[in-house]
A and B are shown apart, each in its own frame.
Chain A
């Protein structure tokens, strides 16, 4: 997310930080690079000008030119300018009303319907009871699409026959929510390719009838220079209270976030990062600025780990198991079960490239990690582990040559791959014993950090303890 913008901005900064002191010419060249990055990321021209002015003004005030530590300070200036333009500390939705009403706005194809379902899923996860409302009286199959998505996430959905005036749809939906004891009403309004009078009237009616405190504009992250004009258009009709940037899982640079927050003053509240219903993330300006500058986004990663851990899908004793797995790992007794748990955990966090990007300084590794996934390496590793017996998974010392042959055949892989995996686990065990925790590399390369929710479910603590003893290769069942 935002990575292309990030990498070109970082390149500009490297040029600035390369030398100890920055000359006036260096600064000018740096600002020109920053402009190129921002324009290439589709940031509106007016916002580009505004940002550059802010940055160069601060550079002047803090006497960057000729001063020491200019690179660091320049990074700070850039970071704060981006954060401020993106809306400072971010905001939460106002959902105090019962029922609280959220109206989703946007052009055709922006992703309103998908976003409505994602928002409902998210709010339901937070303990709210949402109702999805199809208020697109025209597009063929719009209501069907919402109905399908609503059924998939088990959220109730309200619809009226084609041709029902939107104001009526809205009032009836709110009445239905009251009757059913639901506390959030999410209205999916109709999209147009253009803001015509008909849409204007429709949105006005809908707004008057439902008085939504939150009016969220949904915009495709790939939108170019017209993003600001689109936002201004909706501003005059419905005064959006926030922006949801959809489809940020592609390679769109998402400059529209800067355009709309900076140019129209509409803060970004969520970003859509995939096709699944859970692919909607809170937007934190500070964190995104960190990501753009490759300062990492550990906060978001931690949240995802927590969500994957204690989300609705996780087993109730996940936390206990995770702790046991971690303790085991730290004693150097990591098992194939633990490794399997980690592999699965990684995939439940989302696309690996996204995960890697959130780790400070590892932005550049995202592609490598994606390649590992694309080449099926993780899947193959999983297949090999799954071809082992439970006992073998707990104790690599059991893996004699005939057993390895059997596993290789079972997984449909070469025996060399099995050997490599066994060796890798042994290396991890050694590493872990030495590190004994606290080392951030555990998170990825070492592979032993993320507590796996599936990890070691079958091993009683006693068995885990026994594994600490020197291996004899004997049977231990």
Chain B
């Protein structure tokens, strides 16, 4: 329906996912191109997957599945294994979510992601509302205000040093009164090891449900594409406190391949929902598994 429309991937979006995941130097692509025979050197492929931050557990699982599977060459076997690991794109209930809560550790790009999501919703004809609930980081509210002005999206601001839940309460009340949807909430970055801050997040989550019981809420964990295996620890920590519905993988244009998302998908079953591909407001596109895997593995031989 209308609300879900802005989340749908276009062919152009898919191209951007593949491009962003294909960095200038891709060890995995290089290795895979060399093995045109059905039985490649799995050890080298393993090293290359590890070098893409896929992690030991997911890499071992991928290699095993690829060895057990069929295919003309190493690349197609790994590709099939990776796609089955990422799973079918589920008909996601959260497509209808009209409150999006962005959470994550410091510096992963939550604030920019909030603005990009709002820009995308707006260009799809919706009337989004941004909520600056990062009351901790110096000038985070200023940053979102500036981005809101640039995208022409209204911003509800928390009070620096104040209770983020209060700002969220105000925003949801305003959204009900003036028909804003979706409501996109930017929260303060926090380490998943800080139990006090994790409790605060759990409280924020409860406030959202309490104030807007009829709205569908989607909690998105923003993961830095350059993150290594600590991304997995982040996903576990945030899932335990706030209940994660999906992942936003940012900074994929940085040359990192975001392989940790495969590990997160395997270990926690969390789907990747969005991919950040650059610094412009339009550089956030829905995740597309095939495009992502093709980018990660590089172009097939001869193409």
Chain A residues with CB under 8 Å of B191's CB are 247, 249-251
Q: Does B139 contact A (CB under 8 A)?
A: yes
Considering the complex, give the chain A residue whose CB is closest to the CB of B115.
A140
Interface residue from A111, A149, A194 paired with B107 (Cβ < 8 Å): A111
Considering the complex, give the chain A residue whose CB is closest to the CB of B277.
A193
The number of residues on chain A lying at the interface, defined by a beta carbon within 8 Å of a beta carbon of chain B, is 48
Q: Does B247 contact A (CB under 8 A)?
A: no
- CB proximity to B under 8 Å, residues A213-240: 220-227, 229-230, 233
- CB proximity to B under 8 Å, residues A228-266: 229-230, 233, 247, 249-253, 255-256
Considering the complex, give the chain B residue whose CB is closest to the CB of A152.
B138
Interface residue from B47, B53, B139 paired with A42 (Cβ < 8 Å): B53
Chain A residues with CB under 8 Å of B105's CB are 222, 247, 250
Secondary structure class of chain A's binding surface, majority of residues:
loop
Given contacts A39-B50, A111-B106, A229-B255, is CB(A250)–CB(B230) below 8 Å? yes
In whole angstroms, how far apart are the Cα atoms of A253 and B195 in the complex? 19
Residue among B108, B192, B255, B259 having the largest count of chain A Cβ atoms under 10 Å: B255
Q: Does B36 contact A (CB under 8 A)?
A: no
Given contacts A109-B107, A251-B193, is CB(A224)–CB(B143) below 8 Å? no
Whether the pair A110, B107 counts as a contact (CB closer than 8 A) is yes
Q: Does B246 contact A (CB under 8 A)?
A: no
Q: Does A424 contact B (CB under 8 A)?
A: no
Q: Mark B23-65, 1 if CB is under 8 A from A, else 0.
A: 0010000000000000000000001001111011000000000
Residue among A107, A140, A222, A227 having the largest count of chain B Cβ atoms under 10 Å: A222
Secondary structure class of chain B's binding surface, majority of residues:
loop
Whether the pair A222, B228 counts as a contact (CB closer than 8 A) is yes
The number of residues on chain B lying at the interface, defined by a beta carbon within 8 Å of a beta carbon of chain A, is 47
Q: Does A313 contact B (CB under 8 A)?
A: no
Q: Does B165 contact A (CB under 8 A)?
A: no
Cβ distance B164 to chain A, nearest Cβ, rounded Å:
16
Whether the pair B193, A250 counts as a contact (CB closer than 8 A) is yes
Chain A residues with CB under 8 Å of B276's CB are 193
A contact set with B: CB distance below 8 Å: 36, 39-42, 44-45, 107-111, 139-142, 144-149, 152, 192-195, 220-227, 229-230, 233, 247, 249-253, 255-256, 275, 374
11 further A-B contacts with Cβ under 8 Å, apart from A42-B228, A227-B226, are A42-B229, A108-B109, A109-B108, A140-B143, A148-B138, A193-B109, A229-B255, A230-B254, A247-B107, A250-B233, A251-B192
